[in-house]
Structure 1
Amino acid sequence: MTRIDFYVLNSNQIEARRQFACRLAYKAWEQNRQVYLHCADEAEAASIDELLWSFRADSFLPHALHPDQPNETVVCGWGDDPTPHHDLLINLSNDTPEFFSRFNRLAEILVEHDPILTPARERFRFYRKRGYPLKTHQIRIAG
């Protein structure tokens, strides 16, 4: 069964959400895990793709856009089919990905911004009602 972690950042900035997603993807990559960053649309995936090139000045995170290179260890995608990924899903969309249950782990990253929190509360209830193991992490962002 998919383990679901909600990371609630003490920020109202969307950019903090994206930065944290990149850090989480990097940490997972260091542990030899596959990562699928699920975005709301192609524009957001392109934005995350750009950020993954530059979020760390001291190292590089190999990654690609899913439609271009689906077999890369870390990919940014949107839409319905994350094949061949099934390890870590980082959800940056405001919807419940239809394919979330095929992943070992799902990370929901939230900031204190109503357009992000309101649909996240619905997703939390959806997962809880179906019996998924849920854990919430309060994350303090410096600054």
Structure 2
Amino acid sequence: MTRVDFHSQVSDKIHYACRLIRKARAANCQILVLSQDLAQAQSLDRALWSFSASDFLPHTLIEDPLATQSPIVISADQEAPSPHHDLLVNLSQSLPLQFQSFQRVIEIVSSEEQDANAGRQRFRLYQQQGIKPTHTVANAS
């Protein structure tokens, strides 16, 4: 069964995602990041290139022909098939359609009211699927 972890009250979802992605890559995870829209996907793409001077976080957008070879793939398309199934990092406000095909899902939820409400709804939807999500309040996001 998929493990689901919520990280809430995140002040900067892009920066927080970069930190989680770096940690997951250190553990050799292959990652799909689901963004809210193309603009957010492009913001994350830019942030990953400049996030750390000492870490290389190879990534691409899912439309890229090299997506199957990249350990980190960013997508704004819920329906695009994922080349990876280790970790799904969800930045969107929707329940990921393919979440059950992943070993782990990390939901990043900001403190903004709309995002927090959408996060609560996803938490309930996971519970309705028989999953017991964990919840962590983000520190120094």
Instruction: Report if TM-score (shorter chain) is over 0.5.
Output: yes
Alignment-derived partner of residue 78 in structure 1: 76
Q: Contact 1:49–1:76 (CA<8 Å) still a contact in 2? A: yes
List runs of 5+ in structure 2 lacking aligned partners. Answer: none
Mapped to 2, the partners of 1:5 and 1:76 lie a distance apart of 19
Q: Which amino acid aligns with 1:100?
A: F
Cα RMSD (Å): 1.3
Q: Deviations over 1:66-96 (max 9, x none)?
A: 1102211011112112322111000011011
Mapped to 1, the partners of 2:63 and 2:140 lie a distance apart of 32
Moved over 4 A (4+): none
Q: Contact 1:37–1:89 (CA<8 Å) still a contact in 2? A: yes
Mapped to 1, the partners of 2:97 and 2:59 lie a distance apart of 23
List runs of 5+ in structure 1 lacking aligned partners. Answer: none
> 1:58, CA displacement in angstroms?
2.6
Q: Contact 1:35–1:85 (CA<8 Å) still a contact in 2? A: yes
Q: Contact 2:31–2:89 (CA<8 Å) still a contact in 1? A: yes
Alignment-derived partner of residue 2 in structure 1: 2
Q: Which amino acid aligns with 1:135?
A: T
Q: Contact 1:36–1:82 (CA<8 Å) still a contact in 2? A: no
1:90 matched to 2:102: no
- Length, aligned pairs only: 138
**Equivalent position SS for 1:4:** strand
**Equivalent position SS for 1:123:** helix
1:100 matched to 2:99: yes
Mapped to 2, the partners of 1:131 and 1:109 lie a distance apart of 20
- Aligned-residue sequence identity (percent) comes to 38
Task: Find the partner of 1:20 among 7, 12, 16.
Answer: 16
Mapped to 2, the partners of 1:46 and 1:70 lie a distance apart of 15
TM-score (norm 1): 0.90
